[in-house]
Amino acid sequence: MSMAGFKDIEVPFFMFFRALGVYSSKDIISYITYSFNDAEPITQRMLNILEQALTNTYADMNAILKNEFPHRKGEPAGSVNVITNQDDTLRILTRCSKYFDSYRSKLRAAGEEDALNIERFLLSKLEQNIDQKFLPHIGLTPADRKKKAAYLGHMIHRMLLVNLGVLQPTDRDSYKNKRINDAGMSYSRVFKTQFNFMVVMKLKRQYMKDFKDNSFSDINLMALFKSAIKADDFEKALMNAILHHKNKLNVLTTLRSIDTPDKGNSVKSSERAILLRQVHPTGTGYICGITSADTGAKVGMSKQLSISADITAASSSEVLKHIILEDEDLIQIQIIPKGMTLLTKHNLHKVFVNGDWLGCVQDFASFLMRYRLKRREGEINMFTTVSHNIIANEIRLWVDSWRLIRPLLIVRNNIGESGYTHTKFRQWIDFTDDHVKKLQTGAIDIDDLATDGNMGLVALTSVFANHNQAARIVFQTNQVKQTNSWALKNWAFAAHKDLYHQVYVEDPLMSTFAYRHIPPMCTNVIVAISIYGGFNQEDSLIVNKSSVDRGLFDAAHLTYDKCDIEQNEIICRPDPSNTADIKSYSNYEKLVNGLIQEGTYVQEGDGLVGKVAKLQKGDMKDPNVIYSNRSMVYRHKEPAYIWRVIHTLNHDDHEMVKIVFQTFRSI
């Protein structure tokens, strides 16, 4: 075993048990096997494995025991297998920690009293490490150590069952074992990493360097802080991804996309890479099995949420734990360590909440029914996951965040109950005559809702998807997001970076129900297929010129440039006679009072915002030239139409100018 804060040394599992307060080998075995019955084949094989593990020679640990402890009375000696005393076990584990190397020389050179104090300090630090870093979800206090020992035994028990072929290995691709990080959590993790790298680590290095060479009174903390952190470093750490506003569907699918982290070469060429990209059956209803990139390394790595699926927010597990701990059927975990054999003797089922083992129940069926009913009636959080593994005898309840959920219609099976008749059936969902007629003729099926709910929004735009090649449907999921449309209804008053707007849009002649909920994003044309010039023409069209002249497929691209007006800058049209740094290719004739006017056409080199700053006396090379040109110039090759000029204050209450310009693009 290994743990945070320890060296790269394999520590025997029984030493962790003894450090947690389980001393005898018999108790350790009972924490793992829950039985000493040799007649049970699985228990017998577990006992054989554990017997061998308890008598193995652990060379690394025995070397530490031999080298770190002198052979004198009261010191641990021999082999780690025979040491059952908790104090000796903890002292040996202190030698396995990373921080011990800095105390080794002090400990050997210290006298008896000083050595005792150092040992006490090392022990307290180790115990704090065990309480806070070993299974922290179980608890963070010394009172939780027995619970941690029980959970450690549970983990080893599961590993042995997998090793013996009783349980299947954990499927790392199953969505029941996954959590989907939403945008907020992903952002916070990136910020934490960057802040730690750009600020904390640099300050730590600077503090260690200065405090090593100087006394505290001689150090200027403010100057030290400023010298360690440079503003330019933050600019290097910036990361961004532009959301292109092409159409409403593109925005919605971007917000509902799930990207698999690309870590290492294993996702590029290996058997693991294939499994990572395959559609997993546990994703049905949660992850769209159709939407994917059609080529390249992104195939199967970027997925879409199904239209009915959602991601949970976190709720308090303490409320749920309090309710379960007060349940009369629960045998609490604090009682179980006194007789771990009760689990197999009475066939008890373990109960976990967010991975914390609270206890066991015998009548698992009534326990499950009771808490699922509490969930439906709102006594516990409506998004609580209540699952049962009949093979492993485990009941797990989850209220953590980032779980995938979807709506289900709960139908209780009351056939066979006394007083049951079909006349008591109550129809909650009203069917119109049109529904009934379509059901009778087979035009619609009652399972259509469930089928469509398994797919993502972009996949539902495919017409006749169940009568087309699978590869063509995948192409559709990529290409439909690239079409132009009206991404915003208020596009005329918006100021977005890279906003695309198609001038004429129409509803498609062939559509699905998904098109009812998104704006139109196409233009219908009549395509005549014929032989031209003796050759077939593929993947291109010859378009009627009159259609192009009338605006067929015309689109507009709106974007903006902005500039902040500094305190010493003046908005005006630069005067070449008294202003330096005016480029020869720049044209400021279209400026009025320093600003370009709305409705003006501009080309490359035309001025958008004219502003100058007064030169300092030391910077003046000519007494007549008293200003420096700091104007903003249009730098794009494509001519543009000035759509809006926004002259206002920014978030820091500083003057700023934003120029929104539009470029027209036709085929």
Residue 254 inside a domain? The answer is no
Q: How many CB atoms lie within 10 A of CB 318?
A: 11
Task: Look at residues 400, 432, 467 and tell me which one is the last residue of a structural domain.
Answer: 400
**What mean pLDDT value characterizes the chain?**
82
- Provide the token pair at 363: 């009548």
Same domain as 159, residue 61? yes
Distance CA 88, CA 95 (A): 11
User: So what's the pLDDT on residue 65?
Assistant: 65
Same domain as 42, residue 89? yes
Q: Count up the domains in the chain and report the number.
A: 4
- Provide the token pair at 105: 């020389």
Residue 501 inside a domain? The answer is no
The residue to which tokens 């699905």 are assigned: 512
Same domain as 220, residue 156? no
Task: Look at residues 174, 203, 236 and tell me which one is the last residue of a structural domain.
Answer: 236
Q: Residue 487: which of 477, 476, 498 has the closest Cα?
A: 498
User: So what's the pLDDT on residue 255?
Assistant: 86
**Which pLDDT band, with edges at 50, 70 and 90, does 3 fall under?**
low
Same domain as 99, residue 192? no
CB 76 within 8 A of CB 69: yes
CA-only gyration radius of the chain, Å: 35
Distance CA 119, CA 125 (A): 10
pLDDT at 606 over 90: yes
Distance CA 570, CA 557 (A): 31
Tell me what percent of the residues of the chain surpass a pLDDT of 90.
Answer: 18
**Which pLDDT band, with edges at 50, 70 and 90, does 73 fall under?**
very low
For the segment 467-487, the average pLDDT, to the nearest whole number, is 85
For the segment 17-31, the average pLDDT, to the nearest whole number, is 85
Same domain as 192, residue 324? no
pLDDT at 85 over 80: no
Of the listed ranges 136-150, 309-323, 413-427, 520-534, the one predicted with least confidence:
413-427
For the segment 415-430, the average pLDDT, to the nearest whole number, is 63
Tell me what percent of the residues of the chain surpass a pLDDT of 70.
Answer: 85
For the segment 201-223, the average pLDDT, to the nearest whole number, is 77
Choose between 343 and 238: higher pLDDT: 343
Domain of 36, CATH number, reads 3.90.1110.10
Residue 483 inside a domain? The answer is no
Beta strands 404-405 and 310-311 are antiparallel
Task: Look at residues 236, 256, 273 and tell me which one is the last residue of a structural domain.
Answer: 236
Residue 327 inside a domain? The answer is yes
Give the contacts of 224 (CB within 8 A, at least 6 positions apart): 206, 207, 210
DSSP lists the bridge partners of residue 566 as: none
Residue 47 inside a domain? The answer is yes
Q: Residue 177: is it exposed, middle or buried by C-beta count within 10 angstroms (0-12/13-18/19+)?
A: exposed
Domain range enclosing 54: 13-163
Same domain as 157, residue 187? no
Distance CA 508, CA 621 (A): 66
Same domain as 64, residue 123? yes
For the segment 118-142, the average pLDDT, to the nearest whole number, is 85
Same domain as 197, residue 111? no
Same domain as 148, residue 67? yes
Residue 242 inside a domain? The answer is no
Q: Which conformational region is residue 182 in: left (phi greater than 0), alpha (psi within -120 to 50 degrees), or beta?
A: beta
Q: How many CB atoms lie within 10 A of CB 41?
A: 9
Choose between 99 and 171: higher pLDDT: 171
**Which pLDDT band, with edges at 50, 70 and 90, does 534 fall under?**
low
Distance CA 370, CA 225 (A): 58
**Which pLDDT band, with edges at 50, 70 and 90, does 18 fall under?**
confident
Could you give phi then psi for residue 376, rounded to 5 degrees?
Answer: -70, -30
Give the contacts of 300 (CB within 8 A, at least 6 positions apart): 276, 277, 278, 279, 292, 293
Residue 512 inside a domain? The answer is no
User: So what's the pLDDT on residue 203?
Assistant: 80
Q: Tens of pLDDT along 230-286?
A: 766 665 555 566 777 788 888 888 888 888 876 655 556 677 777 888 888 888 889
For the segment 510-518, the average pLDDT, to the nearest whole number, is 85
Highest average pLDDT, of 102-111, 146-155, 238-247, 275-284, comes from: 146-155
Of the listed ranges 242-251, 316-325, 394-403, the one predicted with least confidence:
242-251
Domain of 570, CATH number, reads 2.40.50.150
Distance CA 34, CA 344 (A): 6
User: So what's the pLDDT on residue 72?
Assistant: 45
Q: Name the strand (E) or helix (H) holding 21.
A: none
Q: Residue 478: which of 462, 495, 501 has the closest Cα?
A: 462
Domain of 361, CATH number, reads 3.90.1070.20
Same domain as 206, residue 342? no
Of the listed ranges 60-64, 214-218, 255-259, 387-391, the one predicted with least confidence:
60-64
- Secondary structure of residue 651 in the 3-state scheme: coil
Same domain as 105, residue 194? no
User: So what's the pLDDT on residue 398?
Assistant: 93
Give the contacts of 489 (CB within 8 A, at least 6 positions apart): none
Same domain as 229, residue 150? no
Choose between 533 and 456: higher pLDDT: 456
Residue 537 inside a domain? The answer is no
